[in-house]
Structure 1
Amino acid sequence: MLLFTLSMAVLGFGQEQGESKKINCSADVLRYDASVNPDIQILTGNVVFTHEGAICYADTAFYNEKTNVIEAFGEELIIHINDTVHLYGKYLMYDGKTKIVFIERDVILSDEYSVLYTDRLTYLRNEAYAYYDTHGTIVDDSNTLDSEQGWYYTETKDVYFKENVVLVSPDYTVETDTLRYNTQSKIAYFLCPTYIFSDDNSIYCEDGWYDTEQDIYQFEKNVRINTPDQCMQGEYIWYDKIHDIGIAKKNISVYDSVENVLILGEYAEYYGQEGFTFITDSAIAVLIDGKDSLFMHSDTIWANFDSAQNVSEVLAYHQVRFYRYDLQGSCDSLVYWAKDSIINMFRSPVIWFEKNQCLADTVRLFIRNREIHEMHLIRNSFICEDVFKENKFNQIQGRNMFVYFLNNAIDYVFVDADAECLYYVLDEQKALIGINQSVSKQMRIDFADNEVSLITLYKTVKGDMSPEKDKSNVFLRDFIWLNQYRPKSKEDIFMPAFYKPELKIELTEEEEE
């Protein structure tokens, strides 16, 4: 055995002048063991080796001059890849030709943005990335990420995690199989089916990203967001948590289990601080109640929230149409006051139920237990009913009407001002007796079994009963039958709504006051 002992010697064995790719070593002690391998230098005590900008500190090392490979050991083994990237472990192998570092046992990789913990790691200096396959954990100042495999690109600060990936942030926990995370920007990118959990909700998506620093999310592909009371789905959902602003696109559905309401559409925006949201492009609202579900469509559906984030007002505007098996409607715009359960219909409103059609400038519906309790027809009011033969209609006309319901059927109608009615009178066998036509200041029409049972006139101007053959005109002045606009099924809510020509309304002196 040939033994050399050096004290704090600088070793450059096997190097020629200017040959920079050889590893430079120094140690307290250097020795050779020719019986084992004469090409290997054995270094002990304060070992230091450098190679093209990298520097390593160890307790012991074995350097092979021919292969330019060094193995190093130490309880506090450190290799500085550059000024910002540092590796710690207890065993290291470094190849001076390929510039590949293999390090294991309590491995730490640190830079200015994060720290990586694993048990075994390979670092490729030429490509500037590290790889582990024995489970690793990355920690920065706000997040912790775990995975079975990982690739850390130290120049771009991108980390690719694979298999059993878990990201824990202050507000969310992310679970997925593949994820990219940038330790500088602190943005996580979802690359496959991903689950996100918080105290308030759970989220599923198959693509997208999460800015953990700015609290901004973008979820894509089969997105589902579940809260205790709501479920939202879509192909694209973007949300800024700090400013409470969100955008959703394509195949959007929002279900509220408390109100039992489903909202559908292709584009939506949400403004939490301003207290409103809207959905458009094939917008549909469904009030779910089994076979009694109501389907409504309009160009845009808008909802306002109160301070408790409960819906206080719903607005639907332009081409509004709705369908329920026992109630249909059409108008240009609609406002629903949630607290009072009142629906206001504006501009060419029409209501159909059973054989009845109701029109006015404005229609106001009062809802109780999802049934109409009361209906106000305001200005230019008209109700007509399709009678037993074609082109025969019972008709009520007046300035304002108030319709009261009992057991989901008309109980009575009160007409206030300019009241007129034209009714076909039938005997017990449903044979026509004649036509009753009356004009008065006010009028009340009572119903029984969906038929007129009593007409009460106030301040009568005139009233008569005559055979049908003696009536030259069996329609009141403002009669119009709009059955072609009536939705016959939930699919018909996409048909064009009815619009009557705009009329200039002359107010009386009393109304002007």
Structure 2
Amino acid sequence: MKSILLLILSCFFSFSGLAQGKRIQIIHSDNSSIDEVRLPGATILLGNVVIRHEGIKLNCKKAVHYKNQNFIKAYGDVVLNQGDSIVQTSQYTEYNGNNQKALSWGNVIIKDSKMTLSTDTLNFDRNRQLLYYRYGATIKDSINVLTSNRGNYHLDTNKFQAVSDVVLTNPDYVLESNHLDYYTNSGQAYLYGPSTITSDDNLIYCEKGFYDTKANISHFTKNARIEFDEKEIKADSLFYNRNLGFASASNNMVIIDTLNHVVLKGNYAEFFEKVDSAFVIKKALAITNTNKDSLFIHGDTILATGKPDKRIIRAYHSVKFFKSDLSGKCDSIHSNQGNGITQMFRSPILWSKKSQITGDTIQLLNNTATNTLDSLKVLRNAFIIDKDSIGYNQIKGRNLYGKFEENDLRFVNIIGNSEVIHFVRDEEQALIGIEKTSCSEIHFVLRDGKIESSKFINLPDGQTYPPSRLPKNARKLRGFIWRESEKPLSKNDIFIKDEE
């Protein structure tokens, strides 16, 4: 029984020794004393105090050593070294040799090969190789200065976690966040919660993201947006290269140009900041004149290039557009916002109120001062059709030149091989006859797509027939195709793919 008791006591004291850890070693002091009244169980060390423990060296002017507790308090010009990698200075440090935890305050500065941390109060857990503070600190590395109210620094991974009023200052920008993970060896930052990055060129906002402060490359994934002067880019996922001035955006992308009243939307876009240009694919949409009656343009690809005074918008393949009083479709469209000219190519068709207009090429001229339609050109195989209750009014010729009033096509000149079929009605809209005429040139005045008056130039050939005298097969000009089923009736219709 006695031997068992001795074995238990032996194990207990062995365990206690392990729990206490290795003893703090006093290497040097100029003087030492004991004052059991004021500091029971302590040794007071004065002058050039040098202490060692488990790979650290501590120097100070004064220390109080509690040998039994394996604990020390250091005062005055305290310097703590961990190997060759960590140097800390402060006015006061407490160090526990059993758990290898230190608490320092008073102008605390700690350095390693990657950074310098300054604070008033700092905790150092050597077992976890963790520095942490709760009352504000500043970290400096070769590029950035970072401040926050609370933070942790993991020495083994060079990872700094900062929370509450985090500010990272770079020569090119200032980053502010509520939570930032920053790696001092790589300069990479991970953002959590509302964050902004402000520079002379732009402002970035996100609620989750990544920023490489050395390469100036970033990726934001929650409520991300970039503001460039009069422009803003928003998307579910946003990549940005500050050095190149390049951004790419994915899913629910929106580019807003407030100066030119243009909005680009889609599920993927690339923006080139230095040349002020962008292209959009995947349900691409351009919205112009956003403060009045908007024009919606859709194509497989949309490009916006050039500075504001020379901005050009191009849309390619399966292009459709819609406006309350104007819609159309073609293979590609080219719109110059500087001179107000919009050109439609490859099988273009335009619907102006009740009129259907086709030709090889259609050009629209916008009044840039009033932002209203000014004039129209239809080059080669021009054809206008307007549906009457019993047929179709038709105007055909080589080229067509038209003039708008309040976005209504009012004056039309047909030049070359001109032909017309017109259902003539009186003021009560009763049918008088059907006019069918051809000549080299015809001038019309229209209202709401209907002919008010006409003038035939150079030996017109034709007449007005009673309806019974003009067969139905003669009431359509060569090349007639009525394409009302293709007309977009709303902004949503421009995304409907037509059957071949």
TM value normalised by structure 2: 0.89
Partner of 2:11: none
Q: State the distance in 2 between where 1:117 and 1:257 align.
A: 44
**1:251 maps onto 2:252 in alignment:** yes
Q: State the distance in 2 between where 1:257 and 1:134 align.
A: 43
Shift of 1:212: 2.2
Partner of 1:335: 334
Partner of 1:61: 63
Could you tell me whether the CA contact under 8 Å between 1:176 and 1:195 is conserved in 2?
Answer: yes
Partner of 1:29: 31
Q: State the distance in 2 between where 1:234 and 1:320 align.
A: 24
- Partner of 1:492, secondary structure, is helix
Could you tell me whether the CA contact under 8 Å between 1:330 and 1:498 is conserved in 2?
Answer: no
- Give 1:29's aligned amino acid: N
Per-residue displacement from partner, 1:154-206 (whole Å, max 9, x unpaired)? 22111111112122222322222211112222222211111333344433210
- Give 2:484's aligned amino acid: N
Change (3 A) 1:84 1:291: same
Could you tell me whether the CA contact under 8 Å between 1:201 and 1:225 is conserved in 2?
Answer: yes
Shift of 1:497: 4.8
Higher percent of residues as helix? 2
Could you tell me whether the CA contact under 8 Å between 1:71 and 1:93 is conserved in 2?
Answer: yes
1:341-380 aligned at under 5 Å gives the runs 341-368=340-367, 369-380=370-381
Could you tell me whether the CA contact under 8 Å between 1:298 and 1:319 is conserved in 2?
Answer: yes
Gaps of 5+ in 2: 1-16
Change (3 A) 1:454 1:133: same
- Partner of 1:126, secondary structure, is coil
- Give 1:397's aligned amino acid: K
Per-residue displacement from partner, 1:385-432 (whole Å, max 9, x unpaired)? 112x14x11101122211222332223222222221111111222111
Partner of 2:210: 209
Change (3 A) 1:178 1:132: same
Partner of 2:384: 383
1:486-505 aligned at under 5 Å gives the runs 486-497=487-498
Q: State the distance in 2 between where 1:246 and 1:355 align.
A: 42
- Partner of 1:70, secondary structure, is strand
Per-residue displacement from partner, 1:444-478 (whole Å, max 9, x unpaired)? 22335753233333344621221122222211111
Q: State the distance in 1 between where 2:164 and 2:150 align.
A: 6
Could you tell me whether the CA contact under 8 Å between 2:286 and 2:297 is conserved in 1?
Answer: yes
Shift of 1:255: 1.8
Q: State the distance in 2 between where 1:344 and 1:449 align.
A: 23
Partner of 1:49: 51
Change (3 A) 1:169 1:123: same
Could you tell me whether the CA contact under 8 Å between 1:402 and 1:413 is conserved in 2?
Answer: yes
- Partner of 2:236, secondary structure, is strand
1:188-203 aligned at under 5 Å gives the runs 188-203=189-204
Partner of 1:479: 480
**1:106 maps onto 2:107 in alignment:** yes
Partner of 2:9: none
Percentage of matched positions with identical amino acids: 33
Could you tell me whether the CA contact under 8 Å between 1:332 and 1:497 is conserved in 2?
Answer: no
1:273-292 aligned at under 5 Å gives the runs 273=274, 276-289=277-290, 292=293
- Give 1:376's aligned amino acid: K
- Give 1:41's aligned amino acid: T
Partner of 2:13: none
- Give 1:31's aligned amino acid: S
Partner of 1:9: none
Change (3 A) 1:417 1:452: same
Change (3 A) 1:86 1:474: same
Partner of 1:463: 462
Gaps of 5+ in 1: 1-15, 500-513
Shift of 1:246: 1.1
Partner of 1:418: 417
Per-residue displacement from partner, 1:1-50 (whole Å, max 9, x unpaired)? xxxxxxxxxxxxxxx9xx99222212222333455667533222111111
- Partner of 1:185, secondary structure, is coil
- Give 2:349's aligned amino acid: V
- Give 1:386's aligned amino acid: K
Shift of 1:135: 1.1
Q: State the distance in 1 between where 2:39 and 2:434 align.
A: 123
**1:221 maps onto 2:222 in alignment:** yes
Partner of 2:453: 454
Aligned residues: 477
Change (3 A) 1:448 1:69: closer
Per-residue displacement from partner, 1:96-129 (whole Å, max 9, x unpaired)? 2211121111101111222111111111112111
Q: State the distance in 2 between where 1:187 and 1:119 align.
A: 26
Partner of 2:264: 263
Q: State the distance in 2 between where 1:479 and 1:422 align.
A: 11
- Give 1:245's aligned amino acid: F
Could you tell me whether the CA contact under 8 Å between 1:394 and 1:422 is conserved in 2?
Answer: yes
Partner of 2:435: 436
Change (3 A) 1:280 1:161: same
Change (3 A) 1:182 1:280: same
- Give 1:42's aligned amino acid: I
Q: State the distance in 1 between where 2:165 and 2:439 align.
A: 80
Q: State the distance in 2 between where 1:225 and 1:430 align.
A: 58
Q: CA RMSD in A?
A: 2.3
Q: State the distance in 1 between where 2:413 and 2:117 align.
A: 79
1:122-137 aligned at under 5 Å gives the runs 122-137=123-138
Shift of 1:312: 2.4
Could you tell me whether the CA contact under 8 Å between 1:252 and 1:267 is conserved in 2?
Answer: yes
Q: State the distance in 1 between where 2:292 and 2:230 align.
A: 22
Q: State the distance in 1 between where 2:89 and 2:338 align.
A: 64
Could you tell me whether the CA contact under 8 Å between 1:20 and 1:52 is conserved in 2?
Answer: no
Change (3 A) 1:131 1:290: closer
Could you tell me whether the CA contact under 8 Å between 1:303 and 1:311 is conserved in 2?
Answer: no
- Give 1:174's aligned amino acid: L
Per-residue displacement from partner, 1:307-342 (whole Å, max 9, x unpaired)? xx7652111112211111111111121111121111
Partner of 2:181: 180
**1:326 maps onto 2:328 in alignment:** no
Q: State the distance in 2 between where 1:102 and 1:36 align.
A: 22
Change (3 A) 1:475 1:305: same
Shift of 1:275: 5.7
Change (3 A) 1:112 1:419: same
Change (3 A) 1:205 1:449: closer
Could you tell me whether the CA contact under 8 Å between 1:195 and 1:202 is conserved in 2?
Answer: yes
Q: State the distance in 2 between where 1:457 and 1:33 align.
A: 124
The worse-fitting range, judged by mean Cα deviation, of 269-278 and 52-61 is: 269-278
- Partner of 1:484, secondary structure, is helix
Q: State the distance in 2 between where 1:35 and 1:153 align.
A: 41
Could you tell me whether the CA contact under 8 Å between 1:210 and 1:217 is conserved in 2?
Answer: yes
